[in-house]
Chains A and B, each alone.
Chain A
Amino acid sequence: MSGKNWHDVVFRRMLYGFAAVAFALVLGILIFLIDMGLPAIREGGIGKIFAMEWNPPLKLYGILPFIYGTLVSSLLALLIAAPISVASALFLTQIAPHRLGVIFSFLVEMLAAIPSVVYGLWGLFVVTPWMRVSVQPWLRDHLGFLPVFQGQIYGVGILAASVILAIMITPTITAICREVFATVPAMLREGVLSLGSTRFEMFWIAIIRGSRNGILGAMILGLARALGETMAVTMVVGNSPEISASLFAPAQTMASAIASEVAEASGTHLSALGVVGLVLLLISGFVFYLLRVMVRERQRRSR
């Protein structure tokens, strides 16, 4: 073996080694969660795990309320954040004067740098009182015919959690959308305009439609962040494992349930929290898989 090749081999092996670490970590965490959750699954069976009632003193560990809380709060957050983010990105890339765009982008990215516990504090002391005094009474008075806007008003609850989550994922979605919109060739935009379309039509046809996959990818990345968010949610969601039609009602998410109960849990209770962690990992994994599929689709089409 020549001296030159020897370096290459070591370098290659090192890279293999580092890559293996990442792989081993994912596998290790998965094995840990399965091992932790097995006693609860064995004791109750899958049927008892995917049940409605979480009641530790009665040894009932149904995790559906947590899955419900996680999915509803995250999807609702996405519903609020997506239009705002796409509009911000449009403004930043197409309308804002360069200087203003730079400042505005910086501010949006700052939002991503705020620690989640700070969002939680702000949510607890500013957003939830505002929800209780203004937003929720207004929703109940004007849209109260919908079941989602009925019931007792607490301020904290699934709606408050969704609003906080929406604010937290907006910078992620905005930043990605901005990158995607910036890649739309000027020629395309000018072409659409020269065909006599209005500016709005140009945005719609040339930019948004052309970037559909990019926008979807950005939304999924935002969703993934919302699914796993723990601290900010646990402070405003009301922490009650209930499935209620009303968005005013308190709920509980998977991440928040684990963080809340793990300190004092033991035996089957602890094991059931392991199952919650496993399901959360699988759901997040599925969302990332979706993202990969979409990116691949986009690459194939653009070829």
Chain B
Amino acid sequence: MLNGAGATFPYPLYSKWFDEYHKLKPDIAFNYQSIGSGGGIRQLLDETVDFGASDAPMKDDQLKKAKRPILHIPATMGAVVIAYNLPAIHQPLQLTGALVADLFLGKIKKWSDPRIIELNRGALEPLLSAGDPDVLIVHRSDGSGTTAIFSEYLSKVSPAWKSGPGQGTALRWPAGIGGKGNEGVSSFIKQIPGAVGYVELVFAKTLRLPYAWLENARKEMIDASPQAVTAAAEGMISTIPDDFRASMTQVDAKGAYPISSFTYLLVYTEPEDRKRLAMKEFLKWALTDGQKLAVPLNYAALPPALAARVLKKLEAPK
């Protein structure tokens, strides 16, 4: 029995993996508690679990607290999307990074803002005749890896955001209301016309929330999809450091979705006992055959070149 705890975002994929792997190797079973990235890191450092899971890579001071070296395994990738409730609009809204930042800074109060109209030529006419609803920002109220990724993106595209709310798992939001979890945010967006918020792509897809296309660093308008996230990873593969701790927002690459991120499985590399070896075998499977299960669940598969690098590291951690 391998015990793990951590991120909620990859939980649907992980549980699928654990299930499938258990069918392959009936003597290996997993127990995973999706208590949030921070909790996963805490439990791994306390050594109450065999592996942790986190959306954001561990910080240096956290790694220093560990008694033994910890390896970051990029397990899969996801996207954060800007979901909205504008019933009058039937084609996807198009937004730039600057506009997203101004929306969440509370600077844009109406959907009829000239910059939004200009960018979405013609598409907003039905909205204006439908009474031009107020912009209502919905954010996460609970500390969350999703918030960390989204605020990292906003800090990259907007100096005002960087010097204002900044980045972190919990923020002081300049505007709007907070919902608990992806499901809390989604339910507010669904209920309130004019609402806009950020949720994981997986959530927007399963709940059929409309979400915006975003302009990436190459000035292309990109629809969030597992393929566009993989494109972001491919575009930055040479810059990913040897410990795989990397951010994947606003990657300068063709076809890359700008709010993409890795999510990590965290394991100790020593001692090489039975549990550790079993975990290693599982990780090898997850990085190869396991990747095929990602896209049907709206997660992005690692680029094969990156998976190969991770496998190599897994064999020789030093």
Contact B166 A58 (CB under 8 A): yes
For chain B, the bracket of interface size reads 35 or more
Residues of B within 8 Å of A53, CB to CB, are 172
Q: Are A263 and B39 in contact (CB under 8 A)?
A: yes
Interface pick from A9-17, A41-49, A168-176, A231-239: A231-239
A235 to B187 alpha-carbon distance, docked (Å): 10
Output the least CB separation between A245 and chain B (Å): 17
Once A57-B171, A125-B187, A157-B177 are accepted as A-B contacts, the answer to whether A263 and B142 lie under 8 Å apart by CB is yes
Chain A 258-289 interface 0/1 with B at a Cβ cutoff of 8 Å (1 = within): 01111111100100000000000000000000
Residues of B within 8 A of A81 (CB): none
Q: Are A57 and B192 in contact (CB under 8 A)?
A: no
Please give, as numbers and ranges, the residues of chain B lying within 8 Å of A198 by CB-CB distance.
none
Instruction: Tell me the count of chain A residues lying within 8 A, CB to CB, of chain B.
Output: 35
Interface contact A239-B177, CB-CB below 8 Å: yes
Question: CB-nearest residue of chain B relative to A154?
Answer: B177
A129 sits at the interface (CB 8 A)? yes
Q: Quick check: B38 and A152 within 8 Å, CB to CB?
A: no
The smallest beta-carbon distance between B179 and chain A, in angstroms, is: 7
Instruction: Tell me if B235 counts as interface (CB < 8 A to partner A).
Output: no
Asked whether any CB of chain B lies closer than 8 Å to the CB of A140, the reply is: no
From B38, B167, B177, B192, residue with most partner A Cβ within 10 Å: B177
- Interface flag for B168 (CB, 8 Å): yes
Contact of A132 among B41, B171, B179, B192 (CB under 8 A): B192
Q: Which residues of A contact B177 (CB under 8 A)?
A: 154, 156-157, 238-240, 250
Q: How far is the CA of A266 from the CA of B37 in the complex (A)?
A: 11
Q: A57-B168, A239-B177 are in contact. Are A156 and B188 (CB under 8 A)?
A: yes
CB contact list, B156-171 vs A, under 8 A: 165-171
Contact of B36 among A129, A239, A263 (CB under 8 A): A263
Number of CB contacts from chain A to chain B under 8 A: 98
* Most B CB within 10 A of own CB, among A53, A132, A260: A260
A residues within 8 A CB of B167?
A: 57
- Closest B-chain residue to A231, C-beta based? B180
Name the B residues within 8 Å of A269 (CB-CB): 170
Asked if A241 is at the interface (CB within 8 A of a chain B CB), the reply is yes
Give chain A residues whose Cβ lies under 8 Å from the Cβ of B187. Answer: 124-125
Any B CB within 8 A of the CB of A222: no
User: When the two chains form the complex, which single residue of A155, A256, A263 contacts B143, counting CB atoms closer than 8 Å?
Assistant: A263
Instruction: Indicate if A28 sits at the interface (CB-CB under 8 A).
Output: no
**A147 beta carbon closer than 8 Å to chain B:** no
Which of B36, B136, B166, B192 lies at the interface centre, i.e. has the most chain A CB atoms within 10 A of its CB? B192
Instruction: Tell whether, in the assembled complex, residue B178 and residue A239 are in contact, meaning their CB atoms are under 8 Å apart.
Output: yes
Q: Contact check, A128 vs B145: say whether CB atoms are below 8 A apart.
A: no
A55 at the interface (CB under 8 A from B): yes
* Measured CA separation A124–B178 after assembly (Å): 12
Most buried by A among B37, B167, B191: B191
Q: Are B141 and A234 in contact (CB under 8 A)?
A: yes
Interface residues of B in 172-215 (CB under 8 A from A): 172-173, 176-180, 184, 187-188, 191-192
Give complex CA distance A177, B292 in Å: 63
Q: Given the complex, which residues of A lie within 8 Å of B170, measured CB to CB?
A: 56, 260-261, 264-265, 269
Contacting pair A56 B171 (CB below 8 A): yes
CA distance A56 to B171 in the complex (A): 6
Most A-side CB within 10 Å, residue of B134, B136, B151, B178: B178
The distance in angstroms between the C-alpha atoms of A128 and B168, with both chains bound, is 29
Q: Out of B38, B134, B178, name the residue touching A263 (CB < 8 Å).
A: B38
Contact B145 A264, beta carbon cutoff 8 Å: yes
Within 8 A of A (CB), among B92-146: 134, 136, 141-145
Where the two chains meet, the residues of B that have a C-beta atom closer than 8 Å to any C-beta of A are 35-39, 41-42, 62, 134, 136, 141-145, 151, 165-173, 176-180, 184, 187-188, 191-192
Knowing that A152-B136, A154-B192, A260-B143 are A-B contacts, what are 18 other residue pairs whose CB atoms are under 8 Å apart, sorted by A's residue number? A55-B172, A56-B143, A57-B165, A57-B166, A125-B187, A156-B177, A234-B141, A239-B141, A239-B177, A239-B178, A240-B178, A252-B141, A260-B170, A262-B143, A263-B35, A264-B38, A264-B169, A265-B170
26 A-B contacts (beta carbon < 8 Å) = A57-B151, A57-B166, A57-B171, A58-B166, A58-B172, A129-B191, A132-B192, A152-B136, A156-B177, A235-B184, A239-B178, A239-B180, A240-B178, A250-B176, A252-B141, A252-B178, A256-B141, A259-B142, A260-B170, A260-B180, A261-B142, A263-B38, A263-B39, A263-B143, A264-B143, A266-B42
* Across the A-B interface, the 6 shortest Cβ-Cβ residue pairs: A264-B143, A239-B178, A239-B141, A263-B36, A55-B172, A264-B38
